[in-house]
Structure formats: structure tokens, C-alpha cells
Structure 1
Amino acid sequence: MEAATLFQALVKVESNSLPQAPQRAVARTYPAVPQQNNDIELRPLARPSARPSVSGVTTPRDLEMSVPNTPGAGEQPDDPLNAFEVLPGISDPPMNRFRLAVCCTQNLLMGLVDSAPGALIPYIEKHYGIGYAIVSLIFIGNALGFIAAAPFVDAIRMRLGRAKTCSLAALCLALGFIPLLAAAPFPAIVVGYFFIGFGSAINLAIGNVFTANLKNGTVFLGIQHGSYGVGGTVGPLIATSIVSRLGAQAWNKYYLLTISFSVANAAFYLWSFWNYENETSADTALSQHHAGETASSPRTELGAMLGAFQSRAVLLGATFIFAYQGAEVSISGWVISFLIATRNGDPTAVGNVTSGFWGGITLGRFLLSPVGARVGEKRFVYFLTVGAAVFQLLVWFVPNIIGEAVSLAIVGLLLGPIYPCAATVFMRNLSRQEQVSGLGVISAFGSSGGAVAPFTTGLLAQAAGTFVLHPIAIGLFGAMLVCWFILPATRKRTE
């Protein structure tokens, strides 16, 4: 009996020592962590087409300007839409295919416009009885148009939307072609180039931002700017063919093609971008709590513009593109005059040399831009710039038109991928809110190099000879290398 009693007591003690069910846990608080009273659970990602502003008014979603570039800036920790960024694709939404197409056709038109003076300048000089220095004013008019557009690109986009903005910009180009087509007095030609530059700056900035924010943006930028090379390749061929068949006095007939192209692009822009701001995308994250204020406040628009001027990446990018565009347009615009004056070339024959240069740019952008995306844009641009300078020296010192034509085509091949690679790096150095304003400044003030450098080349060629083209181009390549070295490298975005 005593043993049985001891056994029962042991069983009772052991039963009381077994683990008991825990009571309801009390949440521990940390001062640095925002506290929430709601239970933690997985919430599905929403696909909103609009977000309410502070005033309670629903505003359209902006696919590009909505996601902050760096985490932590103005984010709410309980907002699942701020968790990650997914870039839209070429087929998501499906209309992006047509939007990329119209950006490519616009760049093709710009190539047709920028490459034509190289073949037409000798005939324009003869028609108006002017020299190198005066005819170079067309480049200045173009530059002033680019610069004048810079402060208004983002403001116009916010107020009108991309569809109307790009369509009106294309019509602005058509307006600029009218004096050229009519062979109006030369001051009207310069004014026409102002409108061409203004419209081109708007479409270039918006097109670059749209394309760079797609998945595989570097590749698609290569396609977009490769279209510019296509226009640059066929432009001199068409212009030379027109004056060869119809006579030197028919140089203005070339612009019948460009004015038709710009009107067609205006309609294409309006159709393809019409519903852009209101579309939803499952792959696009969204975070913009003051969309209504940003879209309607002129002070905010001015602040964004001034902020772009204060950005180191924008200033270096503008200087880099200034030198790049200056070298590209100077070579395209004056190499024919160099071959005629220095190498005694036949104008009807050497006019096609410019097409070889633009053909090289086209192949470079289509074929070499994906290489830059693989090996790294920052490193790739160094190689391309140094190579272009070496072959430009060969164009300068090899006294053979065929050899110079081949070297010039290789210069174009190496210059081609630089713009899309550089645009990708610039975009990574800018926040979403800065991209349109920043790209507007880079495009406007950078592309003004495509006017200042050819104009300076024309002035010096008038005084010393057309050989000055080569030291100017090589000096601009050196400026590109300095800017590229100072520009900070950035990591690729997670797509």
C-alpha cells in the first residue's frame, strides 16, 4: 500500500510538470519601428488605375513618374505598392509596341533632317549666295529651339498628357519645314529650324524616358536611336538623288518628304499614346501621394526644372551629349565640304560618303547596343570613344577618298551605341520624378552641341579651311571621356 501511494504521488507531480498551453502573447514594442494594431497577413497587390490626391480628387496614374527611385523617401511602410519596382515590357501593355514604333519613326525623321544639310549645304550656299559662316546659322536656329523647349517639356506633358504633347510637337516640326519647302528667304529658314529644334526636343525627351523605362531599356534605346541612323543613312542618298535628277535648284523638294512624315507622326502619336496615363499594368509599382498637386502646381513644375539644373548627373549628361552631338553633326555636316575642298572630290559622288557614316551609326546602334548592355555601359563607352578618335585621325591624315570613306563609316559604327548606352546610365542616376525634366535638359542643352560645334566649324573653315573639322571632332571626343570619367556609375535596376 505504501508503494502504491508513492507511485500515485509521483504520477501527480510529473503530470503537473508537463508543458502547458501558452497564454495569448503580448506584442513587444520597439521605439524605432512603426506599430500597427492589425494582424499581420498577406495582402494581394492591387492594380489601381488612379490614386486619390490630398484634395480627394482622383488623378490619372503616370506609368513613369510614379515610383520613387530610392527606397525610404516618402514611403509608407504598410503600403505594399512600395515594396518593389517592376518595369513595363514591350507587350505589357500591348500598346507599348506601337508607342515604341512611333518613337522610332520620330527618330527616323530626325535622322532625315539632321543628315540632309551635309549633302544640301553646297546647293543652299549657291542658291542664297552665302558662305560657310552664314549657312551655319541653321544649326544655331536648331539649337535655340532645343534650348527654348527645355523649361516647358515637363510642364506641357503634365498639362496635356503625352499624346497631345507629342502630337503638337510633331506638328511643330511640320511648321518648321514650310519655309524650307518654299525656299523662303534665308532668315525664314533659320526660324524654321528653330521650330524643328523645339518640336524635336520635346519628342526626344519624352521618347527617351518612355523607352529607357521598359525592360531591357538599353536594347530598345538602341533600336530607337538606330532608327535615327536609318534616317541619317537614307537622307543624303535621297537628297543627292533629287538634286542629281532635278538640278541644284530643286534642293528644297527634299523637305516634301519630311513634312509628310511629320504630319503622319502627329496622328500616330495621338493614337498610340491616347490612353497612356490611365492604363493599368500588373508589373508597375505605384507610389505618388501628391499627384494632384504635382500635376497642377506651376511652382512645383518650376521647382522640378530648377532641381534638374542642380543635379550633377544632369549637368554632366548635358555636357557629354553636347560634345557627342557636336562631334556627330559636325562630321556629318562638314565632311563632304572637306572632301570637295581638300581632296578635290566630285560633289555628286562624295555626297554618298555621309550615308556610309550614318550607315555605321545605324549598324552600331542595332548590333552593338546589346553588347553594351551585357559588358556594362560605363566600360563600353570608353572603348567606343577612344576607337572613334583613332579612326577620325585616319580620316584626317589618309589622303585617299575611299580610305577616308571606310574610316568614316567605322567612326559612325563606334559612335552609334554611345547615345543609347549613355541615356541608360543617365536614367539610372535620376529619380523617377526627375527623369522627364532631367532628360529634357540633357536633350536640349546637350543637343545644342549639334549646333554650336558645326557653327564653330563653319566659322573656322571660312577662315582657315575645312580641315579644322578633325581637330574639333577629336577635341570633343576628349571632352566626352572627361565627362564620362566623372559621371558616377550605377547598378542596374532590378526588373
Structure 2
Amino acid sequence: MEFSPLSTSGIGPATPATEPVKTLGFEPSLPATHNELIMMTNLNPSPSASAVNAPENNDSASSSHDSSAHILRARLQLGAICWSLFLAGWNDGTSGPLIPRMQRVYHASFLIVSLVFVISSMGFIFGAAVNMHWTDKHGFGRLMVLGAACQVAAYSIQAPAPPFPLFAASFFLNGLTISIQNAQANAYVASLRFNSEMYLGMLHACYGAGALCSPLVATQFAQMDHWSFHYLASLGMAVLNVIVLTLTFRFRLLSECLALIGQAPGDTSTHDRSNFRQILSLKSVHVLGFFALMYAGVEVSIGGWITTYLIDVRGAGPSAGYTTSGFFGGIMIGRVALLWLNKKGRIPFEILHSVFHADLFLQIGERRVLYLYVALAMSLEFVVWFVPSFIGGAVAVSLVGVFLGPMYPIMISRTSQVVPRWLLSGSIGWIAGFGQAGSAILPFITGAIASKTGIRTVQPLLISLMAMFPILWALVPNSPQRID
């Protein structure tokens, strides 16, 4: 991962003056005094020229040292937040393979076991409020560590498989954890001035990687006597997360963390109203929040219920839990492999090219490509519904993940374009928290319906929810909304 931070020394690296140095959205230029020194050296060469050049060489060496330090810090910071998103994906990928075992151990129906999703949603909503109110007061670094600490507490409760009321209540802490860390991590990457779209794709690919790995482990534990020891493995990674976030960010504000990688401060608000009221006055925030809610609800509903669906409807065995890994693996692959399409924004027509001997392209763009992904995902969901094959359904579910995967990073990228920069962190916190609530509420609704009508109703429900994506996406403004 090549990360190009800017220089804070006032003088760029030792490159020709005609070639600006690419940075995180900032291009430093040579100061006038430095240009004069170069002109003097060229026009009046003398033995004293070396004395003139000496400060320049020292400054260049200092600048090169600063750049190396910025690159190292940037990689460490990105690595830390990618690890926290990996754990968020790990948490979301756990439920699917373990739900059938939870039902047997606690003698719970679909409706009762779905309460874990409802309680998670309460944590998500509370986390969204925490993000909006505490981001400016306590800062990025403290909130990241707070979220990680809540995750340690949740897994500590779940590991010994306590009575179901306490087991379900611990999911509130899981929801709070993911809401806080997801919002803060997205705000960090969206605040980068250079290549933030690519880093968003990579960040959410780490989420997909976590959700891919977790079912592989959870499926094995689901067949053991001590099934809840899966949460001991999760606890070990959560403790490591606390240590990494503490050592990397040291409870600093977001602006301080960005300054350490060489990024200049962003715009600040001059509005009389609080950031909270400004955020709630933005139509784009509410529309994107509902889009996030529907997206996260569909994603976690598929990951949470597809194992049960394949076992009950397609007659699969316990190994059906690996299908959840295939789905989240598809999400991870889609977020990386389709970056070229999201970023480049055009598809060549090879047939027309051969006929007219011209470079002809269909302009897509980040906004339009999402409609294409929705159409493909819905088509594949029909395959899962109507094709009576376990293998066919498993493959189709994995491909659904590929096309669902890029949607969330695209949504966060869009948020950074239509929301004022000084409101970005709080806005993403609200949108992400609202969306994570959907990842709990909609799976619960799915379970409640399944308890009445059977698990077969999952597929038509998912397709109906996907049909809401293009409607909500069309309502997102094309340009930043003015705050009166």
C-alpha cells in the first residue's frame, strides 16, 4: 500500500520544481526564497555556491526524513483501523453458523433467537448517538479504544455460554462496539485528501475478510460440545485490538492523527448552530442513513439466515455454514476487484470498437454503477430462490456478495462529497450507526416472519428489500446541501 503524506517542513522533497509531489490531497510548492537561491546559484556560480546549497541540502534531507516518518505512521494507522474493521466483520460473520446451535442449546424458536439482533440494534442506535455527541468532545482515539473495550466485555460474557437472557443482553455491547468503531474508521478514511475512495474499498474489504474467516471457525465450534468457546478466540483478538488502537492513536483527536501523517487541517464550521443540529438538518444524511439501514439489513440477513435456509429448505448438512464464508468472501472480493469499475467509471464496447474502429465507452460513474450492482444482485437472489440445488444456491449467494460488496464504500464516498467536511465525522457516525441498526432490525424481522410462515419466505423478503436500494439512491443529492 503506497501512502503519500505531505511534508510539513515547508519545503518539498528533492524533486524538480516542475513536478509537484502527490500527497493526501495537498501539493506543497517551493517557497519564493528557495527559488531565489536556485536562481542565484545558476546565474552567479562561485566558490560560495556550496555554502548557499548547504541549507538547501539540509532542508531536503529533513523533508525526506519527515516524509518517511509520515509514510510509516500512515501505514500503522491504516493497519490499526483495518484490524478493527476485520473484527467487526468477524463479529457479523459469527451468527449465521451458530444460530442453529443456539436454538438447540437454549431451546429457542426463530423469534426468540432473533432477539440477539434486536438487542444489537439498540447498541447500534446508542452508538450512533455517542458518535455524534462525543466525537468533538472526546475525540477519535478515545472513542476507538472505548469501542474496543466494549467488545472485550461482550466476548467475556458470551464465552462461558451464560443463561440466554444474559447471553442476549451482551449483544448490546457488540452493537455499541461496531457502531462506534465503524463510524470512526470510516470518518478517518473519508477525511483523507488523496485516494480516499481506494482506501475505503480496502477498509471494507478487511471487513469482508473478517466475515469470511469467522464462519470457517464458527462452523467447527458449532459442532463441538463447547460451542461457545468460539467467543474465546474472538476475545483474544479483541484484547489485541485494544492494545493496537491504544498504542497507535494514543487517545488523540482525528485532526491530530491526520497531522501526524502530514495532512493539513480541514475546514472548520463558522455556523452558530451545533454540529448535531447541522447534521440533522441535512436531507442527504437522512437519505444515506436509510440506504445504509437497508443495505446492512440485507447483508446481515443473508449472512445470518442463509445457513438455516440451506439446511431446512435444500437439505444441506452442517457444512452449509461454509456458505456464509462464501458470501462474505464475495463481499471482500467485490470491494477490491471492482474498484477499477467504481473509479474508472466506463466500460468499453469491444464489438462497436471493432466495427467503427474507435474507442467507444459506456460512461458509468460511481453513482450509476450502483444501479448495475443492484440489478445483478437481485437476479442472483432469484437463482437462490428458484433453483432447487444446494451447490447452485451456495455459488449464487457468493456472487450476490460480490455485487453487494462495493455498495457500502460507494455510499461512504458519496457522503464525503455531499456533506461539509467539518460535519463529516459526525455525519458518517450517524449514517453508519443507523445502518448498523438495520443489520439487527431486519434480520430480526426476517426471523419473526420465518417463525410464522417458514424459512422459505427469506428469499422474497430479501428481494423486496433490495428493490428499495435504487429508490433511495436516486434521492441522494448530486451536490452538497447548503446549511441555512
TM-score (normalizing by structure 2): 0.77
280 and 326 in structure 1: CA distance in 2 versus 1, 3 angstrom threshold: closer
Please tell me the residue identity of whatever aligns with 2:247. W
Could you say what the CA RMSD is over the residues aligned between the two structures, in angstroms? 2.4
Q: Which among 196, 208, 212 is matched to residue 229 of structure 1? A: 208
Partner of residue 108, structure 1 = 86
Unaligned residue ranges in structure 2 (runs of 5+): 1-6, 11-23, 25-66, 346-364
Which consecutive aligned stretches of 4+ in structure 1 deviate over 3 angstroms post-superposition? 45-48, 89-94, 275-283, 285-290
Give the CA deviation at 1:379. Answer: 1.2
Q: Which among 159, 163, 171 is matched to residue 193 of structure 1? A: 171
Per-residue displacement from partner, 1:444-469 (whole Å, max 9, x unpaired)? 11111111111011011111111111
Determine if the alignment matches structure 1 residue 422 to structure 2 residue 411.
yes
Aligned residues: 395
Partner of residue 430, structure 2 = 441
Give the CA deviation at 1:91. Answer: 7.9
| Kept in 2: contact 1:336–1:353 (CA 8 A) | yes
Q: Which among 308, 324, 327 is matched to residue 337 of structure 1? A: 308
Question: Using the alignment, how far apart are the partners of 1:380 and 1:360 within structure 2?
Answer: 18
286 and 456 in structure 1: CA distance in 2 versus 1, 3 angstrom threshold: closer
Partner of residue 21, structure 1 = none
Question: Using the alignment, how far apart are the partners of 2:229 and 2:8 within structure 1?
Answer: 55
Question: Using the alignment, how far apart are the partners of 2:8 and 2:89 within structure 1?
Answer: 42
Please tell me the residue identity of whatever aligns with 2:176. F
197 and 90 in structure 1: CA distance in 2 versus 1, 3 angstrom threshold: farther
SS of the aligned residue for 2:174 comes to helix
| Kept in 2: contact 1:47–1:280 (CA 8 A) | no
Question: Using the alignment, how far apart are the partners of 1:47 and 1:160 within structure 2?
Answer: 29
Q: Which among 378, 382, 385 is matched to residue 367 of structure 2? A: 378
Partner of residue 258, structure 1 = 234
Alignment of 1:27-42 (within 5 A): none
Question: Using the alignment, how far apart are the partners of 2:416 and 2:277 within structure 1?
Answer: 18
Question: Using the alignment, how far apart are the partners of 1:373 and 1:90 within structure 2?
Answer: 28
284 and 401 in structure 1: CA distance in 2 versus 1, 3 angstrom threshold: same
Partner of residue 317, structure 2 = 346
| Kept in 1: contact 2:135–2:426 (CA 8 A) | no
SS of the aligned residue for 1:344 comes to coil
Give the CA deviation at 1:487. Answer: 0.8
Q: Which deviates the most, 279-288 or 437-446? A: 279-288
Please tell me the residue identity of whatever aligns with 1:237. L
458 and 415 in structure 1: CA distance in 2 versus 1, 3 angstrom threshold: same
SS of the aligned residue for 1:474 comes to helix
185 and 219 in structure 1: CA distance in 2 versus 1, 3 angstrom threshold: same
324 and 250 in structure 1: CA distance in 2 versus 1, 3 angstrom threshold: same
Q: Which among 154, 163, 167 is matched to residue 141 of structure 2? A: 163
Unaligned residue ranges in structure 1 (runs of 5+): 1-44, 49-63, 65-88
Determine if the alignment matches structure 1 residue 395 to structure 2 residue 384.
yes
Alignment of 1:87-236 (within 5 A): 92=70, 94-214=72-192, 215-236=194-215
Q: Whose Rg is larger?
A: 1
Per-residue displacement from partner, 1:342-391 (whole Å, max 9, x unpaired)? 111112x2111111111111100121134212212111111111110000
Q: Which among 319, 329, 332 is matched to residue 290 of structure 2? A: 319
Percent identity, aligned pairs only?
29
| Kept in 2: contact 1:124–1:251 (CA 8 A) | no
Give the CA deviation at 1:157. Answer: 2.8
Alignment of 1:53-72 (within 5 A): none
Determine if the alignment matches structure 1 residue 355 to structure 2 residue 325.
yes
Q: Which among 328, 334, 338 is matched to residue 368 of structure 1? A: 338
TM-score (normalizing by structure 1): 0.76
Please tell me the residue identity of whatever aligns with 1:223. M
Give the CA deviation at 1:46. Answer: 8.6
Please tell me the residue identity of whatever aligns with 2:264. T
